[in-house]
Amino acid sequence: MNKYEVKRGIKIGAQYFIAILLAIMTFFPLIITFLSSLKTNDEIMLGMFSLPKVWNFGNYPKAIEVAHALQSITNSLFVAFATLVVTVLIAMPAAYVIARKSYGYLKAVYILFMAGVMVPVHCTLVSVTKISSSLGTKNSYIFLILIYTAFNLSQAIFLFTGYIASLDRGLDEAAKIDGCGDLHLLMRILMPICKPIIATEAILVFIYGYSELIFSLILITDTSKYTVSRAMLNFTSNYVTEYGPQFAFVIMSMIPMLIIYLILHEKVEAGILAGAVKG
- pLDDT of 257: 84
pLDDT tens per residue, range 192-213: 888 888 888 888 899 899 989 8
DSSP 8-state symbol, 54: S
Tell whether the model's pLDDT for residue 39 goes beyond 60. yes
Alpha carbon distance 120, 126 (integer Å): 13
Cβ–Cβ contacts within 10 Å for residue 84, how many? 26
User: What average pLDDT score do residues 121-126 get?
Assistant: 84
pLDDT digits (tens, 9 = 90+) for 134-148: 999 889 999 999 999
- The architecture that CATH gives domain 58-276 is Orthogonal Bundle (1.10)
Domain residues of the chain, as ranges? Answer: 58-276
**How many CA atoms lie less than 13 Å away from 214 in the CB half-sphere?**
12
Residue type, 175: A
Confidence (pTM)? 0.83
pLDDT over 90 at 79, yes or no: yes
Tens of pLDDT, residue by residue over 92-112, are 999 999 988 888 888 888 888
